[in-house]
Structure 1
Amino acid sequence: MKYVSLLTLALFSCLSTAQIQYAPTAEKPSVPSPKQALGFTVGEWHARHDQIQHYFSQLADKSPRMQLETIGYSHEKRPLLQLVISAPENVQRLDEIRQQHIRAARGGVKPAADAPVIIWLGYSIHGNEPSGANASLLLAHYLAASDDPKVINWLKNAVILVQPSLNPDGNDRFALWANMHKGATAVADRQHREHNEPWPNGRPNHYWFDLNRDWLLLQHPESQARITQYQKWLPNIVGDYHEMGTDSTFFFQPGIPSRNSPFTPERNFELTKTLATYHAAALDQTNKLYYTQESFDDFYVGKGSTYPDVQGSVGILFEQASSRGHLQESINGNLSFPDTIQNQFTASLSMIDGAVEQRKALLDYQHQFYKDAKQQAKDDKISGYILTEPADKTRMAALLDTLKRHQIKVYPLAKDWKNSGEKYPADTSYYVPLEQAQYKFIKAAFSTETLFNDNTFYDVSAWTLPYAYNIQFKPVKSQPSENVLAKQWQKASPEPLALASGAYAYGFNWHDQQAPLLLHALLAEGLQVRVAMNDISTQTAQGKVDLAKGAMLIPAGLQQGEWFAKLQQVQKQFDLPVYAITTGLTSKGSDLGSRNLLPVTLPKVLLIAGPGISSTEAGEAWYNIERLGGISPSIVEPQRFSAIDLNRYSHIVLPDGSYTQWSDADVTKLKAWVQQGGVLWGHKRAAMWLAERNIIKTETWTAAEMYSLITAENLSYADQEQLAGKQRLAGAIYQAELDLSHPLAFGFTRKELPVFKNSVLLLKPSEQHFVNVALYSASPQLAGFTATEYIPRISQSAALIAHNYGKGKVIAMTDNPVFRGYFFGSSRLLINALYLGHSIDASAK
């Protein structure tokens, strides 16, 4: 076994000195160094994303070993970069190599003896973990400039995909902060402002999401671009470069052995251990401290080091102690930014070295992975899954699109199909066969497991995609016949629907995910809209149409100006049927002039977000209020609450966080605003705070009361982590039951609703009629781990409560309805609160 030489590592050895210098062992005058391009030595300043792009562009122009691609754009429109590095002769035939690689992996053809290994190196998906992104500058230069025989061999036998900054928006937020506080002499004092970023800090993306949790969920353009390239190349090995606490050292996988994904083959763990010897050897040569098999698990398939493991690749997590700036004191001495870069650079070289030396083993493993998957699919007790959603084609399409991005094939039913006594209607039902290349990934994405070998989780224990989208799904043993299945699902382009003029009124149902967006567009154009509080049947030119409670009506008699032209223009933007109603007299339900058709107004939303509030959950609320409701909320820090004019807003949203910072005067101000007619929403800790302040009229079960349900007797000191893991509700999916007649449940067609629970906080059901909007079902656990002692208590609890408060309304939920942006089902509860909250009429007295 050949390790990275001391000579190779020497190019970085001087970076920890006061005068930072960079001198590679072998240099081509035609290839610019980072210092020549940027004007500073790597590690002297935190590189912005545009500087990384500038340098990579110069390298790609000068070096025949490199090809730079823009694979997408972030929310803030920064380019997402991928630098492809290989021997010049390989770069000339990259697409041929890629296609041969995919055929060998998934097509059943054995890898060629000279096939290059595909290496993916992804850096700094958390923006304030910048050592990886900055190390990519040195790695790219070294691979472009070095004529070391070892490097030449690497390039000949590998295609290296470098994604230097997986979160460019967060990277630049942090780079600006660190650079603006850099003094003439670096300050190591950890109380120094440089080391204490303001809320929400540089970790998340533009909407404050953790992109390293989005590999499965694909809710953001950064993730979608990344997975497109991943599935295009199907790398053999993935390096996932992060940072951790300043007092740590350096971690690389394997992680905790008992906390691996059950969908990862044992051979993967063996290869991980083999590759670990390369990292250890490289770090040993420079006497760097490191550790393995602690701290981190490999369980949730939606993060960067585990997603590859269910794709026939080997994902390796690297965690470097963070300087969180240019220099910071730690228990291991002062930690400099160049020191952190050095370790990431070293681990990048050892990753390439190990992958090339283990090239045949990695190629054979991936080939065997997919070969085994075919046989495992044939041996499985089920043939696949049936998905059904009769009312919301947009929500179904969103799930199918996510599956397609992961290369999962789905087939619509062309004819009605019966299986085990159940009928699955055509056009609204879809079949996901297990006998396809992504067998392992399908099993992981659809998993409903509740029992695990180790109940301590670094992240969530459940992520079931159909539950998140509130799509009915069922495993089936037999496969629909070929004449029942249509061609593989493809995302359709909507065709504008013609809208007849001269109608008495126009209306559309509230079921579809696009309905709130259509409503927002109409209200923004000044149209008058009414919501039906009960089911109605009405007459159109095409015959009778049923409109369910929550349907939106646009009566012609209430409109002014060129309203119909506006209606036509707005309606063309949405793939949603709008019915031209010919009469105000209905054959069922309220006539169109009834008081049961209530006015709907454009919401003016205030979102509380700032220090003390969970930035992740505030970001999730912000993103989904915009994306699913069409509303860009005003965002105000809780510290400014006392100074703002609340009369500007119709709704206030309180995401998870601590509101104890608000004074009694602030609480009085909030109560007065609600009493005057405002709609107040709070979830998780915000819901508990509303109960403590007697704004939501219910009692609670606190975390301490829940923890007391678990017996903690005769425990040894070593049992601390096990007890904490049992007490924590890391993330499981539960079933709530809706009151479908309630305005907050309008648009739902089934009372059963999956919700995501990652908190032990609970609301007790109200004893008053009409206040409990959703209760947990008698057997609520759908997927993921929860201590058995908690389940009876959860089944006795309320998931959503709403009632009058003076002229206003208050709504509380102990779960996050918009968890990670992909819980499209429960997200409708929040959107309904914005558009229909004023229609609630339930007394808490």
Structure 2
Amino acid sequence: MKKIFIVFLFLSTLLNAQKKVDLSYYLPKNVTYNQNIPTPQSVIGHEVGEWHITHDKLVEYMKVLAKSSDRITLENRGKTYEDRPLLLLTISSPENHQNIENIRKIHIDGTNDASVDVANNPIVVYQGFSIHGNEPSGSNAALAVAYYLAAAQGSEIDDLLKNTVILFDPSFNPDGLQRFAYWANTNRSKNINPDPNDREYSEIWPRGRTNHYQFDMNRDWLPVQLPESTARIASFHKWLPNILTDHHEMGSNSSFFFQPGIPSRTNPLTPQMNQDLTREIGTYHAKALDKIGSLYYSEESFDDFYYGKGSTFPDINGGIGILFEQGSSRGHAQETINGVLTFPYTIRNQFTAALSTLEAARKMRVKILKYQQDFYEEARNTGSKKAIVFGDEKDGAKSFHLAEVMKKQQIKIHELKADFTENGKTFKKGYSYVVPMNQKNQRLIKAMFDVRKTFKDSLFYDVSAWTFNHAFGLDYAENISLSKAGNEITDLKMNAGNVSSKSEYGYLMPWNEFYTPKALNTILQKGLRAKVSMKNFTNGGTAYEYGTIFIPVQNQKLNAEEMHQFLNKVVTESHVKIMGVNTGLNDGIDLGSNNFRNITKPKVAMLVGDGVAGNDSGEIWHLLDQRFDMAISRLDTKDFRRMEIAKYTHIVIPSSGLEKSAVEKLKTWVQNGGILIGYKNTARWLSSNKMMNLEFDSSKSDTIKDVSFEDRSLQSGAQVIGGAIFEAKVDRSHPINFGYKNDKIALFRNSTMFVKADKRSYNNPIQYTSNPLLSGYISKENAKVIKNTVPFKVQRMGSGRVIIFTDNTNFRAFWFGTNKLLMNAIFFGDHM
């Protein structure tokens, strides 16, 4: 009898999982709808939740809706890397749309002037969905939410639209959403099978979470390195929304989460009132979810610390960010500890939270508007009358790219009036920028350059440090007199490159500038010969450092005139300076010296696929492809065993290892001259397979007495380095450090892999100092272990080299300060 009951229960659950729903399943009861507004099904051809919405159909519906409703205007703000549009709908009453620009200006005026009465202003709510593409209930709910806002009738919706401007972003991540929808739909059965083992619920690598280059875009709100983020941040600062919602998914066995997160993990720069208002808004979510019987929780699991997330970024910009996390069906229906979780059920919860947000905004409108006004008034009153300055006297591009981020974030920056020196660092006009602190966004400036080494909590949902001057590898000074500032920069431009003069002898290119690898690659791909200097020298009264590139004129495939024209094109595209020289006689090594080593034209490959960290590999792909215009072959791990790899000069393994059968193949390739570059846990794999001789130091745990059963996971979590910044000393004569002007470097680290230093100091060209923590969290015991360890090793194997980095040098595309380490490993690895 028991077995019969279990079978019946399973069948009834299965039938329930396959039960079709219509639009009324999502919509509020007792509301009438304008029949002239098309439903999603009438445009996309299926009911919301029946199939996973593809981005093209989502766009199609939003366009039709905008044409059909006088409550909606549609804006295309740009394109993704895969050429998908980045849409934004502005939703409000027809009367507000007639005056929308004036409403926007009045709203911004309220943040600029405390005397402006904001009580009669509409509140601005930015609603964004599915920044992780394989967390699709958000974007699928956007179909129903947009329909409701366009078609619902009655006094409540009229009051909402009169007093609210809704910035509606139906897909934060078009490329990832499309990738996941394709997977879920192509693996959907007619008879939906909720078995978690079914292929539908296990995406293939790299999965749909990320964008085209495999970036987690919910980490890019502050550094703004991606086109999707650039469009989003422009909209944010144009309107300064009072509330921003970010709709996500989490593990299938979870329920529904809304903020606040864990109170002790809120960034100290966030005002307490922000959290109080977030908590009050939460009561509206609770009431709405109670009404439909959905489980939920708050003030657990998630935090508000890193300002690069969508739910935290508004908190440092006078708004209130709200994270929603829905337990994911990861397909159309899946068995969980809470029963069969259907895709429509997940959509309904997201829909409900979207509407409860708008209800809270309507009811709390004046209170939230006043909070934003007070936020900026306090910021102006507490702003310093001083300034900060950042730059690199030999690398204008890195400085430019940080200035570019600040301009995107609506921060005022000035050129330097004249060169000056502070704390032993020279700040050069054209290579440095001044940022006054007496400006509206001074809190955001503080957040970008924040240095923090003590924390209320030792657990972090994301990184604990992101200090921008360290990330960009720039010299930095604060409390600088405003007299150092020149004109405010309104039209930011990168320094132009140039060739000093035509030469019949040769050209010298210093390696300091960020884009010199791009220039060198273009030169080598043209078939020209180039050499790298292993020592310092002076030519014609100009001093040149380690890593200077020499391009001789004679015995090349281009004649002197053709080479001059070609190099002029190179410097225009790469913003570097190349000097024509008339003699090979130097003070120091001469240009014909054997201390100028030939550079091999690189042909780079990288392992991707199962077992490879998708974010890490995507960041390398993006760096080479987008920043340096270098072709990179991505080799899938499942096919590697049968590939011919002799044609590659370099193979990069980002945080992974291969099966045993590949070891001998790689060993032979390296011994024949290949350069193998491994990251993170690849170091242990290389060591265990005797491709490197490494000695590791074990991470240590802090001794904490009387830990309760409840807190046992907190103790272990506190030993993790979730993301912090550490100082290392560098040997600038070693090829791995070519192009760096300082004898110290700031390194990002999010691992507890510690490699012991070699007894011979020259084999430790990058070594952590005895007190290396610059910013972020590390446990007390691991702070002792990391001292004087090394984050980089290179060893010879036959004619080739094996190189490892213990941590990511290309983190999230904004760690410009260490990008050149990888490029040095590529171009100069055979000289290490």
2:569 maps to 1:572:
no
Mapping of residues 229-628 of structure 1, within 5 Å = 229-378=235-384, 383-417=386-420, 424-476=427-479, 479-481=481-483, 484-488=485-489, 490-492=491-493, 495=496, 497=498, 500-539=501-540, 544-561=541-558, 563-564=562-563, 565-586=565-586, 588-628=587-627
Q: Pick which of 125-134 and 573-582 moved more.
A: 573-582
Structure 1's unaligned 5+ residue stretches are 1-13, 841-845
Select which of 84, 90, 94 maps to 2:90: 84
Q: Secondary structure at the match of 2:303?
A: coil
Q: Pick which of 88-97 and 426-435 moved more.
A: 426-435
Quote the residue 1:655 is aligned against: 654
Distance of 1:151 and 1:465 partners within structure 2: 44
Distance 1:589 1:454, change over 3 A: same
Q: Pick which of 143-152 and 638-647 moved more.
A: 638-647
Please tell me the residue identity of whatever aligns with 2:440.
A
Deviation at 1:494, TM superposition (A): 5.2
Deviation at 1:712, TM superposition (A): 5.0
2:725 maps to 1:723:
no
2:832 maps to 1:836:
no
Deviation at 1:156, TM superposition (A): 0.4
Q: Pick which of 606-615 and 416-425 moved more.
A: 416-425
Q: Pick which of 353-362 and 618-627 moved more.
A: 618-627
Please tell me the residue identity of whatever aligns with 1:685.
N
Q: Secondary structure at the match of 2:176?
A: helix
Select which of 744, 759, 770 maps to 1:767: 759
Distance of 1:233 and 1:58 partners within structure 2: 25
RMSD of equivalent CA atoms: 1.9
Contact 1:732 1:784 in 2 (8 A): yes
Distance 1:412 1:495, change over 3 A: closer
Contact 2:510 2:545 in 1 (8 A): yes
Q: Pick which of 718-727 and 213-222 moved more.
A: 718-727
Quote the residue 1:10 is aligned against: none
Q: Secondary structure at the match of 2:580?
A: strand
Distance of 2:776 and 2:265 partners within structure 1: 14
Deviation at 1:57, TM superposition (A): 0.5
Distance of 1:312 and 1:210 partners within structure 2: 24
Q: Secondary structure at the match of 1:778?
A: strand
Q: Once the two structures are superposed, what CA deviation does each residue of 1:651-700 show, in whole Å capped at 9, x if it has no partner? A: 0111113x2x511x421211111111111111210122222223222211
Q: Pick which of 493-502 and 33-42 moved more.
A: 493-502
Contact 2:533 2:597 in 1 (8 A): yes
Distance 1:537 1:79, change over 3 A: same
Contact 1:15 1:43 in 2 (8 A): no
Contact 1:779 1:795 in 2 (8 A): yes
Distance of 2:295 and 2:94 partners within structure 1: 37
Distance 1:647 1:111, change over 3 A: farther
Contact 1:698 1:766 in 2 (8 A): no
Deviation at 1:534, TM superposition (A): 1.4
Contact 2:584 2:591 in 1 (8 A): yes
Distance of 1:784 and 1:465 partners within structure 2: 13
Distance of 2:546 and 2:465 partners within structure 1: 33
Contact 1:111 1:363 in 2 (8 A): no
Deviation at 1:422, TM superposition (A): 7.3
Contact 1:655 1:684 in 2 (8 A): yes
TM-score, structure 2 length as denominator? 0.94
Contact 1:34 1:137 in 2 (8 A): yes
Quote the residue 2:684 is aligned against: 688
Contact 2:137 2:347 in 1 (8 A): yes
2:142 maps to 1:145:
no
Please tell me the residue identity of whatever aligns with 1:585.
L
Please tell me the residue identity of whatever aligns with 1:619.
G
Quote the residue 1:757 is aligned against: 749
2:40 maps to 1:34:
yes
Quote the residue 1:638 is aligned against: 637
Deviation at 1:211, TM superposition (A): 0.3
Distance of 1:15 and 1:392 partners within structure 2: 63
Please tell me the residue identity of whatever aligns with 2:551.
I
Deviation at 1:638, TM superposition (A): 2.3
Q: Secondary structure at the match of 1:680?
A: strand
Contact 1:609 1:638 in 2 (8 A): yes
2:168 maps to 1:162:
yes
Distance 1:728 1:422, change over 3 A: closer
Distance of 1:837 and 1:109 partners within structure 2: 62
Distance of 2:261 and 2:376 partners within structure 1: 24
Contact 2:499 2:577 in 1 (8 A): no
Please tell me the residue identity of whatever aligns with 1:480.
L
Distance 1:501 1:384, change over 3 A: closer
Quote the residue 1:779 is aligned against: 771
Distance 1:418 1:738, change over 3 A: closer
Quote the residue 2:9 is aligned against: none
Distance 1:833 1:384, change over 3 A: same
Distance 1:87 1:735, change over 3 A: same
Contact 2:17 2:340 in 1 (8 A): no
Contact 1:119 1:160 in 2 (8 A): yes
Contact 2:400 2:494 in 1 (8 A): no
Deviation at 1:370, TM superposition (A): 0.2
Distance of 1:637 and 1:502 partners within structure 2: 45
Deviation at 1:16, TM superposition (A): 7.7
Distance of 1:207 and 1:100 partners within structure 2: 39
Distance of 2:109 and 2:787 partners within structure 1: 50
Q: Secondary structure at the match of 1:481?
A: helix
Quote the residue 2:6 is aligned against: none
Please tell me the residue identity of whatever aligns with 2:415.
P
2:81 maps to 1:75:
yes
Q: Secondary structure at the match of 1:717?
A: coil
Distance of 1:422 and 1:553 partners within structure 2: 28
Please tell me the residue identity of whatever aligns with 1:145.
A
Please tell me the residue identity of whatever aligns with 1:466.
N
Contact 1:771 1:803 in 2 (8 A): no
Please tell me the residue identity of whatever aligns with 2:815.
F
Distance 1:111 1:49, change over 3 A: farther
Contact 1:261 1:299 in 2 (8 A): yes
Distance of 1:442 and 1:362 partners within structure 2: 23
Distance of 2:652 and 2:391 partners within structure 1: 32
Contact 1:395 1:513 in 2 (8 A): yes
Distance of 2:642 and 2:426 partners within structure 1: 59
Distance of 2:70 and 2:17 partners within structure 1: 32
TM-score, structure 1 length as denominator? 0.93
Quote the residue 1:673 is aligned against: 669
Please tell me the residue identity of whatever aligns with 2:556.
Q
Q: Once the two structures are superposed, what CA deviation does each residue of 1:721-779 show, in whole Å capped at 9, x if it has no partner? A: 32122211111100111110001110000121101111111111122453222000111
Distance 1:776 1:426, change over 3 A: same
Contact 2:612 2:655 in 1 (8 A): yes
Distance of 2:425 and 2:169 partners within structure 1: 48
Select which of 183, 190, 197 maps to 1:184: 190
Distance 1:570 1:279, change over 3 A: same
Distance of 1:677 and 1:146 partners within structure 2: 69
Q: Pick which of 528-537 and 142-151 moved more.
A: 528-537
Distance 1:17 1:806, change over 3 A: closer
Contact 2:388 2:477 in 1 (8 A): yes
Q: Secondary structure at the match of 1:334?
A: strand
Contact 1:253 1:317 in 2 (8 A): yes
